[in-house]
Structure 1
């Protein structure tokens, strides 16, 4: 493992083994890049600036949004800092700008840890960690948490990878997502209803070209098929797959047209695994309730398959 100088995303930790290479930044434990046999699996995060549009971030202790930054704990109102002020929400947890410590490291794996301290609207000290480990065809990611408070604490986690299949144009890729519902959102991107996707334009289970999608949409009832929650397939058959383990019942798909890439803005596709839906601190859906001293763990991953079905 190589360690480089401090950048806008903290210290860059490089993992490399058998043709698989990942670069991790210690700020937000960001996945800065992943390649398999020199084929880009994720959009790279440049060293000179913070991750664009959340690219590669870890989202903890909740993914997505909390409406108005408000939620209720044991009958007492809690007010989080509004980190999405334009929409009046708290977004993507409490560690987006936090430096993680390197807890363990080897040539092909690294574990980063950070404390979530008590703060506005969040009275729990939680120890969190994320382990990135190379696999022969991609990357395995494991998130863990321990509750150091004297009361039960809610917890959820997500990640924000933007996927690609090497140099194939994004608009030509086909996105398949094994999700049975989607969340309707208001103008502030907060959920107002959940609908079945069957028979609608939101049904991605059969695959849809990314160029035809205009989404910033949360999906529920994600049921992986042979471990695969989503797949991005190139015209030649090469593919990148999002693997979701137990406890990952949700995903967000975001297809911005203004993603910055090599000085030019264009189409990108984020497929974000989540253990809970938007506004989960209010709905309670998908939340893990951590007893004092309790620990929880959730895992997901990325897998690349070359054209012809091999690496």
Structure 2
């Protein structure tokens, strides 16, 4: 099937997917209101096969040292799949399955599958990484740009969550390895939620949206004026080095996030 944009619809919710632009969710409209930032940095893109920054772009897999391109010098950031064209494996009115085969500069052959399901009050994103060849460390995550303000005379969004800890951030924006008490924002930080990611975004008088995942890591980024990011992921930044999770021929890596909303 082609990589042209496709639209899913359920109730008053509409999602536009852009397989040809990194397999991202390009738009999420609820009741005709766009929730995701548009423009240069837009929508919600998949972070795979790693999330956030890799220190110096290097990671080890056993005795092998791998070097990724430094697309956020001096580090590598947000994986490679967001730069590729994904294939539409199948779709219905409210669900689509996208696939992407990892290629260079990623050194290990693997297939990424993303299932996008829409209901009238929720969007569910499920991603997996499978290999039939070498084992390797990997991560899965999502990077949504939620609009800070939904327009009109509405107030800016409020972010509510109760993490168990915050990863101390070094001057290089990477975790130092020390866990600290959560600090007040603004944030470009990784937090631990051992019971699962549970973050509520509230646009007062308009909409409440909950970002949930069984994973215990979430990066919150709200340093830009236009948007806020709530990024569930399977490990912390630089996790290929500090908290590796192996993908093997008998054990894929899989993660899910669900966004649930209600009008208020």
**1:154 and 2:137 matched:** yes
Which runs of no fewer than 5 residues in structure 2 stay unpaired? none
Q: Is the 8 A contact 1:158 1:274 kept in 2?
A: yes
Aligned with residue 186 of structure 1, among 170, 173, 178 = 170
Aligned with residue 28 of structure 1, among 18, 22, 26 = 22
Which runs of no fewer than 5 residues in structure 1 stay unpaired? 203-212, 258-265
Report deviation, 1:55: 4.5
Report deviation, 1:218: 1.2
Distance 1:181 1:55 in 2: 28
Report deviation, 1:113: 0.5
Aligned pairs for 1:80-229 (under 5 A) are 80-85=68-73, 88-117=74-103, 119-120=104-105, 122-149=106-133, 151-164=134-147, 166-167=150-151, 172-197=156-181, 201-202=183-184, 213-224=185-196, 229=198
1:263 matched residue in structure 2 = none
Aligned with residue 277 of structure 1, among 236, 243, 254 = 236
Q: Is the 8 A contact 1:222 1:229 kept in 2?
A: no
**Any idea what the Cα deviations from partners look like across 1:184-233, whole Å, max 9, x if unmatched?**
22222111133332xx534xxxxxxxxxx321111123534xxx610011
4+ aligned runs moved over 6 Å, structure 1? 168-171
Distance 2:11 2:204 in 1: 26
Aligned with residue 238 of structure 1, among 203, 207, 225 = 207
1:249 matched residue in structure 2 = 216
Distance 1:64 1:169 in 2: 34
Distance 2:53 2:86 in 1: 22
1:300 matched residue in structure 2 = 257
Distance 1:214 1:169 in 2: 23
- SS for the counterpart of 1:241 is strand
2:48 matched residue in structure 1 = 60
Distance 1:276 1:111 in 2: 24
Distance 1:297 1:183 in 2: 23
- SS for the counterpart of 1:232 is strand
State the TM-score, normalized to the length of structure 1. Answer: 0.77
State the TM-score, normalized to the length of structure 2. Answer: 0.90
Report deviation, 1:140: 0.7
Aligned residues, how many?
262
